[in-house]
Amino acid sequence: MIPVMTTASLAQSYRVREFAALAGVTVRALHHYDRCGLLKPRRTRAGYRVYRRDDLPRLQRILVLKFLGLPLADIAHALESAPRLDDLLKTRRYVVTRKRERLAMVLHLLDELRDGKGEQNWADLASFVQSVGGPSAPEGSSRQRKLDEARRLIGERRVEWNATLQDYELNRDVRAAIERGDTPDTPAGRALVARWRAAIDRFTGGDPKLRDALQLVMKDRPEAVVSADTAFHAYVARAFQGRA
């Protein structure tokens, strides 16, 4: 139900054009935020939009978060939940940092190509570019936002994670099993799958959110990477499934 302004409260209110001028935004923007449910005005009995001065702080938060690159759908959740806002800001910082690093690589490649005088090793450059890869989903899409948050969670965990000798030995033993012809369905393979499952549990610490993040990122690997090491990734994929 849309609140209806009384005559007494109208004196403390702004019509849409007045509020737009006060906030430094366009009327069109206010209409859009209204349709999205981000900033709902009250209405006069004649149906005109009216805003109060205490709507201004919320609008200012919307403008700042929009400038930082958060989609409007995420801003709506962020405005209602401080923990969600913190998560979104962390993820956005992670994404911007990755973009900065990627731009630094692009600048380096441009300098290499410009100064190489036609003697570049294009095969090496192509291999490097393929290894760096690119976004697997359109930037700004719901899937890409989920991937960004998943990668941020995994990155944070890796900072505090101390890999052990058994983690190195697990990778080595899987490689050896593949060379012997073992698969995740053989007795030796099932034992390795169980070790992988234990390694995943150690990494995630039993956190289902982090486990889901790992699985999402694993599914998003470039097809070329998966094809190049299909046998190895079969063990990891099986570890995310039911008991071996």
pLDDT at 141: 80
Token pair 């030796």: residue: 188
Every domain of the chain and the residues it spans: 7-69, 81-134, 138-244
pLDDT at 139: 64
Three-state SS string over the chain comes to CCCECCHHHHCCEEEHHHHHHHHCCCHHHHHHHHHHCCCCCEECCCCCEEEEHHHHHHHHHHHHHHHCCCCHHHHHHHHHCHHHHHHHHHHHHHHHHHHHHHHHHHHHHHHHHHHCCCCCCHHHHHHHHHHHCCCCCCCCCHHHHHHHHHHHHHHHHHHHCCCCHHHHHHHHHHHHHHHHCCCCCCHHHHHHHHHHHHHHHHHHCCCHHHHHHHHHHHHCCCHHHHHHCHHHHHHHHHHCCCCC
Q: What is the pLDDT of residues 21-35, one digit of tens each?
A: 999 999 999 999 999
pLDDT at 243: 46
- CATH for 7-69 is 1.10.1660.10
Residues 6+ apart with CB under 8 A from 136: 144, 147, 220, 222
pLDDT at 237: 86
Which pTM value belongs to this model?
Answer: 0.60
pLDDT at 1: 45
pLDDT < 50 regions, the chain: 1-2, 5, 7-9, 243-244
Q: What is the pLDDT of residues 100-117, one digit of tens each?
A: 888 888 888 888 777 765
Structure tokens at 123: 């095969």
